Amino acid sequence: MPMTTWLLTLSVAQAGTAVWLSGTPDPTLTPDDKARRAEKVAPVPAFDADDEAAVQALTAELRACGPLLDEFDGELDIIRRLGPRIAAVEVIRPDDRDLVWKALLLEGLAVHRYFPELSAPEAGTAGVARTLGGTTENAAWADAIALAPDRLPDIAELGEESARLAFQEQRARLLLLDTGTVAVSGAPEGAAVHVDGQLAPGGKQVVVPGTHRYTVQLGATVVARGMMLVAPGGTEDAPYAAVVDEIKALEPTLLTAREAVVLPPAVVVRLESLEAPVSLVVVGKRGPKVFRVDGENAILAKQDAPSSSPDGPHVWVMGAAGLTYDANFFTHNFFDGAPDSPGTVNALSPVVGAGAQMPVGPVHLGVGTDLVIPLGEWSTLPTDDTTLRLRAHPHLGVGYGPVQLTAGFWAPWHLGLGARATVPIADSWAVTGAIVQGMGLTWSNLDGSDFSPEASRVGWVGMAWLWPR
C-alpha cells in the first residue's frame, strides 16, 4: 500500500477521540479513535506566565507605538503592531482595563488618520472597520467604547481635536444602539463570572455592542475564558466547559458503573468540542473500561479483564502476623515446666506463604502453602524424635471474588479448614488475611494406642504481592 494511501486510511479510521481519564493511553484499545489524555482535551486555562507576558508585551508596544504617529505611514505600523498585541490579551483583569483601553484608543486614532473613509475597500481589507447598527464604524474605537462606555478621552490621551470629536460622535451612535448581553451558563457552584475584568452577577452582563472578554474564576484561579463579538440586541451565551479536574472526577463513578452514567452538563459541553465519536477510558483493578458518549450519557462499551488482573491467573507471596492457639502446646510441654496459663497455649506468630490462583469461569481455584511460626516459649510440638515449632499448612482453595474457602493438612496432626480474603489496594499489592481451624486427626502411637490431639486455630492479616499485574 502506498504511504499516502496508508496515511489516508489511518486518518479515516481514527475518526473519533478516546479520552483517557487514567492509565497510559493505549491506541490499540480503541483503534478507531485518537487516544488522548484528559489533560490534553481539557486544560485548565489559568492566568499563567503567557498571559502576563501578553500584558507586558502590550505595555511595551503601546509605549513604542506612540512616536510612530509622527512618522510617514506610521499609522499603518501602529495598526499592524497593536492589533495582534491587543488580541493576545485574552484575560482582562481590573488593573488591565486602562492598558487595553488606551491601546484601542491609539489603534483607533491610527485608523482615523490612515483611513479617513472607513467604507473604502482598503479599509475593509485591512479589517479596521465594523458595521454596527447600519453604520460603518472604527472597530478599535468601537471596542474601546464597549470596554468603557462611560469614559471619554482627555487631551493628553487623544490630542487631536478632530479625533476627539470623531470618537465622541461614534460613542454617541453606539450608546443609542440596543445593548447586548454576555452570558456564561453552567458555571460550577461558587464560580464567579467576570466580563472585561468586572464581576457579572448571575453570570450575565449587559454590554455595549462590541468585543468583550469573559472569564470564569474559582477563587483566584481562572477556569474558563473566552472572547466574543456582541451584536446590538444580541445575547452571546458561552456554555461553561469542564476543565480536566472536573472530567477526571468522573473516574470513581465510571469504575463502578455497570451500564451507563449521566454526564454533568459542563462535561458534555467540553466533549462536544472533540472529534466524534467520543469515548471515555478509565483503568481499574480489572483493567480498562471504555464508555461511548451519547449526548449526556456515557454507555459502557468494553471492559477488559487482562491476565494481569487479580481476578486472572496469578501467583502470590505474602507476609503476615497473627495469633496461634493450640492446647497441645501445654499438654506436650507440661512435664518440662509449661505453666497452666493462657500465655502457654496462645502465641504471636509471623506467617509467610506462597501460592497460585486460577479462574475457572466465575469460580477461582487456588493452591498454596502457609508457614506459621509460633513465637511462644512453649510453642513446640513433638514429632518422632524431635520437636516442631514451624507449622506448615499446604492447602487447596475454592472461592468467588476476593474470598476463598481452604482445606489442607496442618502439620503435624490436624486437618486445616479455613477461609481467606485478598483485597487489592494498589498495583501488585493486596491486603490479605485468613483464619484456619485445625481439626485433630487420630493417630496411632507406637504402642498401638490411639492419639487424638486437641483442636487448634490460627488467624492472621498481612500484605500479599501478586504477579502478574
Residue count of the chain: 469
pLDDT at 118: 87
pLDDT in tens, 51-108: 999 999 999 999 999 999 999 989 999 999 999 999 999 999 999 999 999 999 999 9
Instruction: Kindly provide the residue ranges of all beta strands, DSSP E only, lying in 333-454, ordered along the sequence.
Output: 346-360, 363-372, 381-383, 386-388, 391-400, 403-410, 414-426, 429-440, 443-444, 450-451
Radius of gyration of the chain (CA): 38
How far apart, in whole angstroms, are the C-alpha atoms of residue 327 and residue 414?
13
DSSP string, 210-250: EEEEEEEEETTEEEEEEEEEEPTT-EEEEE----HHHHHTT
pLDDT at 79: 95
Q: Do domains 180-239 and 314-467 have the same CATH topology?
A: no
Domain 180-239 = CATH 3.40.50.720: no
pLDDT at 304: 62
Kindly list the domain boundaries of the chain, sorted by start residue: 15-42+243-303, 49-176, 180-239, 314-467
pTM for the model stands at 0.61
Q: Which amino acid is at 187?
A: A
Place of cell 489603534: 107
How far apart, in whole angstroms, are the C-alpha atoms of residue 279 and residue 254?
12
CATH number at 314-467: 2.40.160
Mark the ranges of the chain whose per-residue pLDDT is less than 50.
1-13, 305-310
pLDDT at 215: 94
How far apart, in whole angstroms, are the C-alpha atoms of residue 333 and residue 345?
10
Q: What cell was used for 71?
A: 512618522
Q: What cell was used for 331?
A: 499438654
Residue 288's SS3 state is strand
pLDDT at 385: 73
- From edge to edge, which strands make up the β-sheet containing 221-230? 198-199, 192-195, 210-218, 221-230
How far apart, in whole angstroms, are the C-alpha atoms of residue 66 and residue 128?
18
